[in-house]
Structure 1
Amino acid sequence: MKKRLTLILLTLSLAGVLSIAGCGKSDEEATSDNTFSTEDEVTADGAEDTENTEEAEDEVAPEGMYRSELTNEWISEDLKDQRPIAVMVDNEKTALPHYGLTQADIIYEMMNSTLNDHITRFMVLVKDYDSIKQLGSVRSVRPTNLMIAPEWNAIVCHDGGPFYINTFLNNPYVDHFSGTFSRVKNGKPREFTEYVLTGDMKKNFKNNSSIDRNYNEYAPTEAHFKFASESKPVALSDGIDCTLVDLPFKHNGSQLDYDEESGTYLYSEYGSKHLDPGNDNKQLAFKNVILQKMSYSQLDEHGYMVWNCLASGQEGYYITNGKAIPITWTKNSDLNRTIYRDLNGDEITINTGKTYIGFVADDVWSELVVE
């Protein structure tokens, strides 16, 4: 009980203000162009205030560089118009070690099946994918991923999926490559041998000219995140101390530990550090951690499910630099970005760097440890 006291107090505080967040603004219905909706009659808290209240700092970009829209880090200007890819990465223990994940910009982790102790899967967003020699292993996609990837205009890279994905794949704003990547002989069963290797994306674009490498008509029209200046990072001075995030993912045992020296949260699972042999065995690390409390709908007895990711004013946390604050999140449609707000109703500002986004089921949210 002592271990979870802070989390319980924060949850009670959040519950008291959820009815306030978004009041006084026009509501919109959350929509998805699919055969079924993940939430009935979901309303949003209206159009967000897109004005940046912080005074923008004058800075001179290094020659040939620009700030990435995914991390705010300086990257090559040649990548400015290039769409990110969203790679489905198997997270079964047999799939380890993962390759290339330390070079990803944003990683989503979410339950992939209601069976097998609610095993999770990664959706890995990468802007500069040509710089990664090996990424994966690649596995099948689920409906939820085809509702989240469009808010980034990302090209989904996967290997098939259940028939539930078919309607989603037919949406005009969903682009994907399936089963068109390289096989690596690693001594494992075939389902654990597919990776995105150097040259695979170039080959895919050549073989399917209908998919744009660059941002297309469904590209975001506004910044996905509000980033703080690197000279004035977000400190969350009013937040609680947070050096441990113990996620209630029974199968994987996912955990994030704060490393004060690097100012990042180091990821572990299955009782071990998550290391990347493709990058000098670096441990997977994140500057920002965002957790979203979310309900889900089970589709059949085989464990297939869909997250109710179209919702308004739901609970969550933003965690950075050893501190955590309760937040709310809203997503109105497949193409609309997910907006994260503090308890005053203001969109949060996050720090420059990589971001971990975890979907935590509402029926295990009370088991989440943030301390």
Structure 2
Amino acid sequence: MRGKRWIQKITAAALAAAVAVSLSGTGFAKETVVYAAEEAAQAAVPQVLPQPTPEEAYAAAGFVRSVYTNEWIPAEQAGVRPIAVMMPTDRIAQPSYGISNAKILYEIMEEGEISRQMAIIDDWTGLPKIGNVRSCRAYYLPEATEWDPILVHFGGVVYMKDRITAPDINNITGAQQYGVAGGTPGAEAFFRTTDRKAPHNAYTSAPGIVNACAQLGYPLNIRQGVYNPKHFTFAQGINTLEQYGAAAATANAIDLSQIYTYTKSAFVYNPADGLYYKSIHGKPQTDGLNGEQLKFANVIVQNTKWVRLDDKGYLAFQNIDNTEDGYYFTKGKCIHVTWQKMGDYLPTVYYDDFGNEIQLNEGKTYIAVAQKGRSVLYN
């Protein structure tokens, strides 16, 4: 038995040797060994998979580009209606609360040579204190409706009666919405504090706005068919305005004191972060909630036709127009622009002197709707 097994082993070994000799004569064995070695080496190298681009990564995580700033925001936030809050520029009323959340900040002159601000805030639902809140004027409405907001104000004037009561306007107000007998929709959303005297101590909050909208039947999401999602055109990358050559002037400081003689609103460019820092009454304009100074990637001065309506000094502006000009400031530079707005819910579009729509930089935008004939200074 032992001999038989020994013979089988010898026979198998001999057969294997014979096969190896036979194959080596053809070169097949050598090629097979080399191929196997290459296959093993390839298997040992880790496979490098294509990496998603930042755009793909953000999209996969449920983010979209903001129509206000072009920054990445959660998709659910993009569907929330913004609020348009009327805020004062009065020296005694500073600082405002929640104003640094404004992605678009308008400043327009009112009667008495005192301007007012309208803050377009998209991420408002977590704000505990917003304001103080002041009254509205008719010429803010065409600017506001571009964004389909919930308008938050504390009263108004008779000149806005027809527009503020139109069914497409969703507003809440702590005082009669256009003066005597105007009604006060959403008045319960407001509260007063004791640290300031009226009219500078009226505020609202995110919970107050949500509750008021529920009672008034105002939707909290963007209204399809009403809202126009096309607003600014943003640059892919950074727009330094260098493409305009000598037509782009240096603008490290922007002085609006000839436009807003009371507030003397101004900006200083910070090259470290590429933003313009805003001041008011000669001091940094800050947010009472966080102490942050207001800063913007884009500053626009929009020259606008205007008239005085009566002896009280109430004004009117021609917000819907296609014949006026202005200036665009970004990254320490400035170019001349023209602008057009063709309807309430249509966006204001800004063009360079070659007829191309300007490309804004990512970030917040300040818009001065300036009285035509008043000058902006910069250097």
Q: 1:96 matched to which residue of 2?
A: 94
Alignment pair present for 1:235 and 2:240: yes
Shift of 1:270: 0.7
Q: 2:43 matched to which residue of 1?
A: none
Distance in 1 of aligned mates of 2:167 and 2:347: 17
Normalising to structure 2: TM-score of the pair?
0.78
Q: 1:263 matched to which residue of 2?
A: 274
Alignment pair present for 1:310 and 2:305: no
1:183 corresponds to which letter in structure 2?
Answer: F
Alignment pair present for 1:370 and 2:378: yes
Equivalent residues in 2 for 1:174-323 (5 A)?
174-179=169-174, 180=187, 181-209=189-217, 211-229=218-236, 232-237=237-242, 238=244, 239-247=248-256, 248=258, 249-279=260-290, 281-323=291-333
Distance in 2 of aligned mates of 1:61 and 1:278: 29
Specify every segment of 5 or more residues in structure 2 that has no aligned partner in the other structure, as ranges.
Answer: 1-52, 175-186
The SS at the match of 1:168 is: helix
Shift of 1:217: 4.3
Shift of 1:58: 5.1
Q: 1:35 matched to which residue of 2?
A: none
Work out whether residues 109 and 359 of structure 1, in 8 Å CA contact, stay in contact via their aligned partners in 2. yes
Work out whether residues 148 and 226 of structure 2, in 8 Å CA contact, stay in contact via their aligned partners in 1. yes
Equivalent residues in 2 for 1:1-371 (5 A)?
59-61=56-58, 63-113=61-111, 115=112, 118-179=113-174, 180=187, 181-209=189-217, 211-229=218-236, 232-237=237-242, 238=244, 239-247=248-256, 248=258, 249-279=260-290, 281-365=291-375, 368-371=376-379
Work out whether residues 103 and 132 of structure 1, in 8 Å CA contact, stay in contact via their aligned partners in 2. no
Distance in 1 of aligned mates of 2:169 and 2:74: 26
* Residues 203-242 of structure 1, C-alpha deviations (whole Å, 9 max, x = no match): 1122111x2111214533442011122xx21110121111
Shift of 1:159: 0.9
The SS at the match of 2:316 is: strand
Shift of 1:57: 9.2
1:111 corresponds to which letter in structure 2?
Answer: M
Q: Residues 170 and 198 of structure 1: is their aligned pair in 2 closer, same or farther, counting only changes over 3 Å?
A: closer
The SS at the match of 2:125 is: helix
Work out whether residues 150 and 173 of structure 1, in 8 Å CA contact, stay in contact via their aligned partners in 2. no
* Residues 124-151 of structure 1, C-alpha deviations (whole Å, 9 max, x = no match): 0011111222221101110011121111
| Aligned-pair identity (%) | 31
Specify every segment of 5 or more residues in structure 1 that has no aligned partner in the other structure, as ranges.
Answer: 1-55
Shift of 1:91: 1.3
Work out whether residues 218 and 335 of structure 1, in 8 Å CA contact, stay in contact via their aligned partners in 2. no
The answer to which structure, 1 or 2, has the higher relative contact order (CA under 8 A, 6+ apart) is: 1
* Residues 307-359 of structure 1, C-alpha deviations (whole Å, 9 max, x = no match): 11111131111111111110000111212111100111111110110000001
Q: Residues 267 and 343 of structure 1: is their aligned pair in 2 closer, same or farther, counting only changes over 3 Å?
A: same
Task: Report the structure number with the largest CA radius of gyration.
Answer: 2
Distance in 2 of aligned mates of 1:157 and 1:360: 23
Distance in 2 of aligned mates of 1:81 and 1:363: 39
Work out whether residues 152 and 219 of structure 1, in 8 Å CA contact, stay in contact via their aligned partners in 2. no
* Residues 26-72 of structure 1, C-alpha deviations (whole Å, 9 max, x = no match): xxxxxxxxxxxxxxxxxxxxxxxxxxxxxx99543162322111111
The SS at the match of 2:326 is: strand
Work out whether residues 104 and 124 of structure 1, in 8 Å CA contact, stay in contact via their aligned partners in 2. yes
Work out whether residues 66 and 77 of structure 1, in 8 Å CA contact, stay in contact via their aligned partners in 2. yes
Work out whether residues 298 and 361 of structure 2, in 8 Å CA contact, stay in contact via their aligned partners in 1. yes
2:129 corresponds to which letter in structure 1?
Answer: Q
Q: Provide the alpha-carbon RMSD of the alignment.
A: 1.7
Q: Residues 193 and 58 of structure 1: is their aligned pair in 2 closer, same or farther, counting only changes over 3 Å?
A: closer
Shift of 1:170: 2.8
2:346 corresponds to which letter in structure 1?
Answer: N
The SS at the match of 1:61 is: helix
Work out whether residues 69 and 364 of structure 2, in 8 Å CA contact, stay in contact via their aligned partners in 1. yes
Work out whether residues 81 and 215 of structure 1, in 8 Å CA contact, stay in contact via their aligned partners in 2. yes
1:335 corresponds to which letter in structure 2?
Answer: Y
Number of equivalenced pairs: 307
